[in-house]
Chains A and B, each alone.
Chain A
Amino acid sequence: MSSQPETLNNETVNAVEITDVSKIFNPGRHNEVKALEGIDLRIGQGDFVTLIGPSGCGKSTLLRLVASLIDASEGTVTVNGKAADRARLDRDYSMVFQRAGLFDWRNVARNIELPLELMGWKAAERRRRSAEMLELVKLSEFARHHPAELSGGMQQRVAIARAMSFDPKLLLMDEPFGALDEMTREHMQNELLRIWSETRITVVFVTHSIPEAVFLSTKIVVMSPRPGRIAAVIDNDLGARSETTRDDPAFFTNVTAVRNALRGDH
């Protein structure tokens, strides 16, 4: 399908390249908003990058630019070396939102199979894959349940299984755990890290929570508002995570570093 097979198999190509991007909503009208300005960002293959910043600083906008759900006003966005729109049509990435957004009219397994149906997979292969994905998110016994019968955390795990069902190279997550309680949230963070280390997928993850960003990511992008800019990029090298990571001094050092960057003093 792709016209550029040489870049597809090239591991050194960045997962995401954002070059001098700005986004203005409703340009020239009374409700014009400058949402993003001068954004430059490179995300390598297999990175786990979080975007953090105050409400309205353009995190969701940046994610939707990468997903090519909206177009940049200036600058370029490439995914795996392709224009973002090409990458969308090639299904290079998958999204997870704050609300799980499962379809009530499909049971859990058929929700996971939705992208596979759109891609024209055969029914037997779809069945096999959704069973595998349910195992990955540990919900095998709920295959035939309807979403409304699941808790919020379980629904979000189904949404992750759906997003990963067709082996996308990139996972874009917009506050996926924002609506969960603290306990469920930590559990989901552990699950996501397990899945990430098993699959080595690239993740771009939006959050409001500093500890969540520090616990999850290899790289933290701190954003500031009006207009949305990148205030700092913090390398967050804590090694393999475990139950004790959250009590690690290095963890607290990086939490403080992110907090200071958010306040605006470096």
Chain B
Amino acid sequence: MSAAMSAARTLLSSWLPPTVAAVAILGSWEILLALLRPDGFVLPPPTEIASAVAENFDAIVTAITVTGFIVLTGLLAGVMVGVAFALLVTAFRAANETLTPLAVAVNAVPIIALAPIFNAWFGILSPRSNQAVVVVLVFFPVFINTARGLARVSPSQVELMESYGAGKWRIMREVRIPNAMPFFFTALKLATSLAVIAAIVAEYFGGRQDALGNLITTSAGLTRYNDAWAAVLAGSLLGIGLYVLAVALERLAMPWYFTARRSS
């Protein structure tokens, strides 16, 4: 009950300042464009983007659903693989010596550049290739941050557990995993926007025709820049929505962390 209430309060306090900022930015954007009057394709004023959203409402809702599904599934899979790697690497020295270099090597590959190759693997119209890009991109920051949180525990807390005769797995559960939670959520918040970017850019190269990335490229190709901007706006909303969801999850999962921070 109180956790839900504090989550609601968090939602409010994380929505209010950006809303104020958004209104200020959109207002000055509109005014500046009205004064300078550049060509339409450079940057349309917010009111024109809004009417483009209204005109293409159905297509945009479909695109958000299609791309949102890719982002969410890719994010979930990437987070799961990242956390699993982090646990393995922390628990087993052999895993650390094999998986860590592998992960670093995979991360060094410019993953977006793989999108056309993934299309060849999974088929140009399949969303699988887009999901694959999201998974690979999300996995690394989650893995690295979570692994750091699992490792960076206070040595005396580990000694304390050992003095109670606790084994490695008990120490993992009671000390390492709770200690890694703030690190994990930092990575998750970062991963939400990464996942949206990864999905849309991957869609530039292939995947379903009704997704956000395709909507942007086809609209721009037809010089319908207002429609392209409307789709970009939809992508931002998707990113913001996921970020807020991650913040709410963070509050629900570790209320203790926010008490601790308030008083120290």
Interface residues of A (CB under 8 A from B): 64, 67, 69, 88-89, 91, 93-95, 97, 99, 101, 103-107, 114-115, 118-119, 146-149
- Interface flags for B243-264 (1: CB within 8 Å of A; 0: not) read 0000000000010110111011
Tell me whether B18 is interfacial, beta carbon within 8 Å: no
Q: How far is the CB of A107 from chain B (nearest CB, A)?
A: 8
> Is B175 at the interface (CB under 8 A from chain A)?
yes
In the complex, what's the smallest C-beta–C-beta distance from A106 to chain B, in angstroms?
Answer: 8
User: Measured between alpha carbons, how far is A146 from B257 in the docked complex, in Å?
Assistant: 10
CB-CB < 8 A to A94: which residues of B? 163-164
Closest-CB distance, B67 to chain A (whole angstroms) = 36
15 CB-based A-B contacts, threshold 8 Å: A67-B163, A69-B163, A88-B165, A89-B165, A97-B156, A101-B157, A105-B181, A107-B256, A118-B165, A146-B256, A146-B260, A148-B259, A148-B261, A148-B263, A149-B263
Q: What number of residue pairs across chains A and B have CB atoms under 8 A from each other?
A: 61
What 8 pairs across the A-B complex have the smallest Cβ distances? Answer: A148-B260, A105-B178, A97-B156, A101-B156, A89-B165, A146-B259, A95-B163, A105-B256
Q: Which residues of B contact A105 (CB under 8 A)?
A: 178, 181, 254, 256-257
Whether A118 contacts B163 in the complex (CB less than 8 A), given A103-B174, A149-B259, comes out as no
Q: Is the interface of B mostly helix, strand, loop or mixed?
A: helix
* Interface: B159 (CB within 8 A): yes
User: How many residues of chain B have a CB within 8 Å of chain A?
Assistant: 24
Binding site for A on B (CB under 8 A): 154, 156-157, 159-166, 170, 174-175, 178, 181, 254, 256-257, 259-261, 263-264
Contacts A118-B164, A118-B166 known; list 10 others, CB within 8 Å: A64-B159, A91-B165, A99-B156, A104-B256, A104-B257, A105-B178, A114-B174, A146-B256, A148-B263, A149-B259
